[in-house]
């Protein structure tokens, strides 16, 4: 019998051969009372035991919407706690989460939805000039006349369910509470059976490239890809369950959902969300108030933090490490980050 194998160079760190859901189960069992997720701007604080409970509830709710293994579940939202729940709940049921860039306009959203054959969409409300619900209705006018769970669109033939991440009962959409209540229709044993049927080589995520040289490409990632990428990043940062990572980078990108969320969860560290989008003072305040030990960002984020007029008033002495990536960093900026933000 021929089986697949992996080519691996010299390494002191063995790769993890489990699914994302199994990893979360193990971490929650080992560190049930440690903070898992703190969304400062939503006033949310969940331990790993509480986070796992909510992930499992959402997983069962999605199963109640007939989301099967391999189905695509898209999320079009900023950095909210619901995004992280969706990331892990879809992984637990074998669905493939599709990251929709919150900066997308209507034509880009339409392209990603059609190209990835989305079955269920989770969508947030208006943020500044972006009217996500309005853009959805523009591309899918059939939803105006549809009942939740019964969308029948010529443009999106695979789309059945739309969930609004809030409590406004938009036409054709479930509210978040509507969705979570559906978890009662699925026995926890059914979720355990679904989890047991999964393989770490299963696809779990589709991320779209920037599309600078043509249409964006949907990159398919597996449990094995994402879990080990995050795990090895966390190992390099020497993460433990006592660490607290401030995450101002967007979740739709691998910097947010893998190098931040997954690096934290694989080590039982806390994910701290300062704001839905980058805000330099919110980052500084979150680091101080939540006693973060690490922070991620691109160079311009660190420059904005360092140059903020109130920077001197914030205590950042709990910081010890972080990641600066995305573009080249000027040497002087790196020196300032080392000196003024206690990062190495």
pLDDT per position as a tens digit, 230-267? 999 999 999 999 999 999 999 999 999 999 999 999 99
Query: Do 17 and 200 form a contact (C-beta atoms < 8 A)?
Result: yes
Q: How far apart are CA 277 and CA 29, in angstroms?
A: 32
Q: Maximum Cα–Cα distance for the chain, whole Å?
A: 65
* Confidence category of residue 8, pLDDT binned at 50, 70, 90: low
Give yes or no for residue 10 having a pLDDT over 90: no
Nearest to 280 by CA among 304, 311, 249, 247: 304
Under the phi-then-psi rule, with left for phi > 0, alpha for psi from -120 to 50, and beta for the rest, what region is 122?
beta
Domains with residue ranges and CATH for the chain: 49-221 (3.40.50.12780), 225-340 (3.40.50.980)
Query: Do 320 and 293 form a contact (C-beta atoms < 8 A)?
Result: yes
Residue range 336-341: average pLDDT?
A: 95
Give yes or no for residue 6 having a pLDDT over 70: no
Q: How far apart are CA 91 and CA 109, in angstroms?
A: 22
* Confidence category of residue 46, pLDDT binned at 50, 70, 90: very high
Distance from chain centroid for Cα 108: 20
Contacting residues for 19 by C-beta, under 8 A, at least 6 apart = 91, 195, 198, 199, 200, 202, 223, 227
Nearest to 266 by CA among 222, 294, 234: 234
pLDDT of residue 279: 98
Q: How far apart are CA 198 and CA 90, in angstroms?
A: 12
Nearest to 86 by CA among 111, 109, 56, 116: 56
Q: What's the N-to-C CA distance of the chain in angstroms?
A: 49
Q: What is the mean pLDDT of the chain?
A: 96
pLDDT of residue 325: 92
Give yes or no for residue 212 having a pLDDT over 90: no
Read off the pTM: 0.95
* Confidence category of residue 301, pLDDT binned at 50, 70, 90: very high
Give yes or no for residue 12 having a pLDDT over 80: no
Query: Do 268 and 31 form a contact (C-beta atoms < 8 A)?
Result: yes
Q: How far apart are CA 103 and CA 135, in angstroms?
A: 12
Under the phi-then-psi rule, with left for phi > 0, alpha for psi from -120 to 50, and beta for the rest, what region is 275?
beta
Q: Which of 172-186, 230-244, 324-338 has the least mean pLDDT?
A: 324-338
pLDDT of residue 222: 98
Residue range 90-94: average pLDDT?
A: 99
Give yes or no for residue 1 having a pLDDT over 70: no
Percent of the chain past pLDDT 70, that is, above it, reads 97
């Amino acid at each position: 019998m021929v089986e697949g194998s992996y080519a691996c160079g010299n390494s002191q760190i063995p790769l993890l051969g489990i699914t994302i859901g199994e990893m979360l189960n193990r971490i929650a069992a080992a560190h049930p009372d440690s903070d898992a997720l703190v969304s400062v701007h939503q006033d949310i604080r969940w331990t790993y035991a509480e986070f796992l409970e909510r992930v499992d509830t959402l997983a069962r709710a999605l199963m109640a919407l007939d989301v099967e293994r391999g189905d695509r579940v898209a999320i079009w939202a900023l950095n909210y706690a619901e995004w992280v729940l969706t990331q892990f709940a879809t992984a637990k049921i074998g669905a493939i989460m599709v990251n929709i860039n919150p900066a997308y306009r209507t034509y880009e959203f339409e392209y990603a939805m059609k190209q990835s054959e989305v079955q269920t969409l989770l969508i947030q409300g208006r943020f500044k000039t972006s009217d996500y619900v309005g853009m959805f209705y523009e591309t899918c006018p059939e939803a105006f006349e549809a009942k939740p769970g019964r969308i029948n669109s010529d443009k999106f033939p695979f789309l059945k369910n739309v969930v609004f991440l809030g409590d406004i009962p938009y036409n054709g959409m479930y509210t978040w509470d509507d969705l979570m209540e559906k978890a009662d229709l699925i026995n926890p044993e059914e979720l355990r059976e679904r989890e047991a049927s999964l393989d770490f080589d299963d696809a779990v995520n589709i991320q779209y490239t920037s599309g600078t040289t043509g249409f964006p490409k949907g990159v398919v990632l597996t449990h094995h890809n994402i879990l080990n990428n995050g795990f090895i990043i966390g190992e390099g940062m020497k993460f433990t369950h006592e660490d607290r990572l401030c995450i101002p980078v967007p979740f739709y990108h691998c910097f947010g959902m893998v190098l931040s969320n997954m690096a934290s969860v694989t080590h039982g560290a806390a994910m701290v969300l300062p704001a839905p989008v980058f805000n330099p003072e919110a980052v500084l305040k979150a680091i101080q108030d939540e006693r973060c030990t690490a922070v991620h960002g691109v160079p311009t984020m660190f420059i904005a933090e360092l140059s903020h007029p109130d920077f001197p008033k914030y205590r950042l002495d709990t910081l010890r490490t972080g990641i600066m990536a995305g573009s080249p960093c000027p040497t002087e900026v790196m020196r300032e980050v080392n000196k003024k933000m206690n990062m190495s």
